[in-house]
Amino acid sequence: MAKAGASKMTALVLSALLWAAGVSAQQVLGPKHQPIGAPKDYFDRGEGLKVRYEWDKAILEYTSAIRADPSYSEAYYSRGVSYYAKSDYGKAIVDFSKAIELGLKNATIYGYRALAHRKKKDYDLALDDYTEAIKLDPKNSRGYFERGSTNISKNDLDAGIADFTEAIALDPKYYDCYVARAAAYLNKKDYDRAIADCTKAIGLAPARHQPYTMRGDARQAKGDTEGAKADHEKAKALRQAKHF
């Protein structure tokens, strides 16, 4: 009895000392025994780590936020972004899907999930997500460009061209769309349209070599040997200039 009383007294003294020092018993016992903190505190720490590209540490914080509040959709989204950055596309998709299930539905999250599906070559699922993103933000040219690129990956050139055309209508200075559409026209042997898009791309970014290369290819296919030579030489000079 005396021994038990002494142990109890020791525990009380220890608790009093910890309380006076502002330290909890759980902190002394270690993380396994720590009480659940405020979900937003974990989330905010995760966000700070994410902007420093400390993905693993950020994931731990988001996971703690989710453990504290399983309905924290933004934490699932941000953890998904972190998994995506680590090329763990399967886990990214799971987290994006959970965030969407919890009500976080915007063009950005559908776009991210679509990118993850594309990395896994699940092009049909990616197209579904890009279509949903476009519905939510129909004035965003990027959605059309990404859906068009996915259609090209499926070798659906006409669908790709249609999406690039929509993107250009929204943003007439969208260089990447002109280049992508030119490549699609070149594959369809529609050389005049390919040349027109390459020329437009050159006007937007004259220091980029790719449109010169493709325009040279299109001119070569049309029998314009001199024009093709000039474009290919220009493309070569621009490529070499990048290395100096």
Q: What percent of the chain has pLDDT over 90?
A: 83
Residue 133 domain-assigned (yes or no)? yes
Taking the CB of residue 120, how many other CB atoms lie within 10 A of it? Answer: 13
Residue 168 domain-assigned (yes or no)? no
Tens of pLDDT, residue by residue over 194-203, are: 999 999 999 9
Q: What is the pLDDT of residue 42?
A: 97
88 with 119, same domain: the answer is no
Which residue segment(s) compose the domain that 109 sits in? 105-155
Residue 18 domain-assigned (yes or no)? no
182 with 138, same domain: the answer is no
Q: What is the pLDDT of residue 37?
A: 77
Q: Which of 104, 124, 142 is the last residue of a domain?
A: 104
127 with 182, same domain: the answer is no
What is the number of structural domains in the chain?
A: 3
The whole-number average pLDDT for the span 208-235 is 97
40 with 100, same domain: the answer is yes
Residues in the chain: 244
Residue 200 domain-assigned (yes or no)? yes
Residue 243 domain-assigned (yes or no)? yes
Q: Which of 125, 155, 185 is the last residue of a domain?
A: 155
Residue 19 domain-assigned (yes or no)? no
Tens of pLDDT, residue by residue over 126-171, are: 999 999 999 999 999 999 999 999 999 999 999 999 999 999 999 9
Q: What is the pLDDT of residue 36?
A: 60
91 with 117, same domain: the answer is no
CA distance 96 to 239: 39
Give residue for tokens 């579904």.
Answer: 128
Q: What is the pLDDT of residue 24?
A: 39
91 with 111, same domain: the answer is no
Residue 94 domain-assigned (yes or no)? yes
182 with 193, same domain: the answer is yes
DSSP the chain: -HHHHHHHHHHHHHHHHHHHHT--HHHHH-GGGPPP--HHHHHHHHHHHHTTT-HHHHHHHHHHHHHH-TT-HHHHHHHHHHHHHTT-HHHHHHHHHHHHHTT---HHHHHHHHHHHHHTT-HHHHHHHHHHHHHH-TT-HHHHHHHHHHHHHTT-HHHHHHHHHHHHHH-TT-HHHHHHHHHHHHHTT-HHHHHHHHHHHHHH-TT-SHHHHHHHHHHHHTT-HHHHHHHHHHHHHHHHHTT-
121 with 110, same domain: the answer is yes
* CATH code for the domain in which residue 194 is found: 1.25.40.10
Residue 6 domain-assigned (yes or no)? no
Average pLDDT, the chain: 88
| Tokens found for residue 142 | 């990027």
CA distance 74 to 103: 10
Confidence of residue 242 (pLDDT cuts 50, 70, 90): confident
Tens of pLDDT, residue by residue over 46-70, are: 999 999 999 999 999 999 999 999 9
48 with 115, same domain: the answer is no
44 with 99, same domain: the answer is yes
181 with 213, same domain: the answer is yes
Taking the CB of residue 178, how many other CB atoms lie within 10 A of it? Answer: 25
109 with 135, same domain: the answer is yes
